[in-house]
Amino acid sequence: MSREALQESLSAVMDNEADELELRRVLNAFDDVETRETWARYQIARAVMHKDLLLPRLDIAAAVSAALADETVPVKATRGPWRSLGRLAVAASVTVAVLAGVRLYNQDEIAGVELAQQSNQPGLAVPQVKGPAVLAGYSESSEATGPMANGVLQGQPGWHDQRLPSYLRQHAQEAALKGTESALPYARAASLENR
Amino acid sequence: MRAIPLLSLLLSGWFVAPAHADEAQDWLTRLGHAEQTQSFNGTFVYERNGSFSTHNIWHRVQDGKVRERLLQLDGSAQEVVRVDGHTQCVSGTLIAGLGESSKSAARALDPQKLKNWYEIAVIGKSRVAGRSAVIVALTPRDQHRYGFELHLDKETGLPLKSLLLNDKGQLLERFQFTQLNTSDVPSDTDLQPGADCKVIAVDGNKASAANVAQSWHSDWLPPGFELVSSSAHKDPQTKAQVNSLMYDDGLARFSVFLEPLNGAAVTDTRTQLGPTVAVSRRLTTPQGEIMVTVVGEIPIGTAERIALSMRTDATAVK
């Protein structure tokens, strides 16, 4: 997957505008350090824009994983004060990790250059438009609303506008023929004609 | 002594659980039979994001023949008349390029197969259109399909209400009878198509349909989905040859449309219309760029993955 697509998804997730697929894409990519750093940068950029600079740049996930990795597997037989002490130690190490993260964050100065770079980044990938005929009907504002604009056929006008209604109709009709619950696909097909 | 009631409780729980599952499957079997054996007429509503419509249905089973007429009551008078699952006529706006598939018969609901992909359970009772109903829930076992909630008539097994729900439990569409009459058999006049109902012209372009399934396949399909039909037809407007494949898991369905782009500059799109999703993706093949469009009542992520997995075998054949 391209870097751009992922960053686009990241910013969509941050703006609470991501669909299911994008969310999944981001979650899958989150094991990657680079992705987490991009995420953190986006958060800072947003915090600055919202004049809300208290969003800490924590890599809690990594710190907690590290702390858990260090935890020795508790031996079942050992019962007593040592076990709870061990747990306490793990909890303490997690706390330290979190606190260290906060300290690190506070020391970290937000470079203006970095922010400037990032603010350009969320620019959505402009579709590769080849024909001038298509360009005429293309509006950038619609792209900003995300890939799905509330059930409205959206995107490149022309080709899809021409095809999708007939695809939807054909699907609904064939479904009506195949299905046992014949009235339901028929109603779906009919509802497409009412637009 | 105290253990005895506890034990019986446990035992009854042990026996009741499978009984419930069986009961739900029996209801689905009844539903499958009901439409083949029961005459009825009634009015139902259909609702999805951005659309609400009311319809009348006349359904007659006589001498083993199932004759059915559906008519939309509000807006344009859309109409379909079917005999034994074959469409006889449709009103003007519903016309579609129905090819080969109009020949094949409908598939029966198979609870045994469905339970591999859905958890089937009776979850309660309800009342719909003045009749008592049993609620059967079909909960998907994976993220590749939606859940159904069916309210089946206790008396006949007919579906009085059907809800489609996504993984978050949000309602995607509602089909619900407001009135149902199962005692009177619809008359010939009831089943007579209106003047606007045009007789279906069978698509002559059948020869290539058989090749569609051979020349295209999907590297990945959601579990349980099988190819049920394929067709090829020429779009009357664009003159382009469109191949289509339809898959189902016994309940949910999706279609894959394959159309050559012929150099047109088109972007990939994603659209959701109530329960139906449409995902378009360009695919580069040795024969040129093809637009793959997946349309169906499946989650958008699944549709996207299918669109990405379509492959042509054309080179292998040659």
- ipTM, two decimals, is 0.81
User: Which pLDDT score, from 0 to 100, does residue B139 have?
Assistant: 94
Tens-place pLDDT, residues A123-140: 344 444 333 333 333 333
pLDDT at A101: 55
User: What's the confidence (pLDDT) of residue B18?
Assistant: 53
Q: Is the dihedral of CA B40, B42, B47, B52 positive or negative?
A: positive
Count other Cβ atoms within 10 Å, centred on residue A174: 26
Sheet with B226-234: strands ordered across: B226-234, B241-248, B253-260, B288-296, B276-285, B269-273
Q: Name the residue among A167, A175, A176 with its Cβ closest to that of B257.
A: A167
DSSP letter at B103? G
Mean pLDDT confidence for B32-42: 90
Q: What is the mean pLDDT of residues B156-169?
A: 93
Q: pLDDT-based confidence at A154, cuts 50/70/90? A: very low
Query: In chain B, what residues touch A155 (CB-CB under 8 Å)?
Result: 267, 269-271
Greater confidence, B129 or A84? B129
Task: Return the minimum-mean-pLDDT range out of A7-11, A24-28, B203-207, B257-261.
Answer: B203-207
Residue B89: pLDDT over 60: yes
Instruction: Round to whole Å and give the CA distance between A24 and A20.
Output: 6
pLDDT at B2 over 50: yes
Confidence of residue B297 (pLDDT cuts 50, 70, 90): very high
Q: B32 to chain A: which residues are within 8 Å by CB?
A: 180
Cβ contacts (< 8 Å) between A173 and chain B: which residues?
A: 87, 90, 94, 96, 98
Supply B293's token pair: 């469009």
Looking at the partner chain, which of B159, B244, B271 has a beta carbon nearest the beta carbon of A181? B159
Q: What's the pLDDT score for residue B119?
A: 94
Residues 6+ apart with CB under 8 A from B238: A162, A163
Test B32 with A172 for CB contact under 8 angstroms.
Answer: no
Spatial CA neighbour of A151 closest among B28, B272, B262, B232: B272
A147: closest chain B residue by CA: B270
- Dump pLDDT digits (tens) for B47-62: 998 889 999 999 999 9
Contacts of B289 in chain A (CB under 8 A): none
Q: How many residues does chain A have?
A: 195
Maximum distance among all alpha carbons in chain A?
A: 78
Q: Nearest 5°: phi and psi at B259?
A: -135, 130
**With 70 as the cut, is the pLDDT of residue B245 above it?**
yes
- Which positions 153-172 of B are in contact with A (Cβ < 8 Å)? 159, 162
Residues in A touching B107 (Cβ below 8 Å): 178-180
Which helix H or strand E contains B31, and what residues bound it? helix B3-37
Which H/E stretch holds residue B122? strand B118-128
CB contact under 8 A, B50 and A151: yes
Q: Choose among B62, B264, B203: nearest CA to A162.
A: B264
Inspect the interface and report whether the beta carbons of A172 and B276 lie closer than 8 Å: yes
Question: Of the candidates B48, B246, B275, which has its C-beta nearest A178's C-beta?
Answer: B246
For residue A162, give how far its alpha carbon lies from the nearest alpha carbon of chain B (Å). 9
Kindly tell me if the per-residue pLDDT of B252 is higher than 70: yes
Give the separation between CA B51 and CA B257, rounded to whole angstroms: 25
H-state helical runs in B60-194: 111-114, 188-191
When mean pLDDT is compared across A35-44, B93-102, B110-119, the lowest value belongs to B93-102
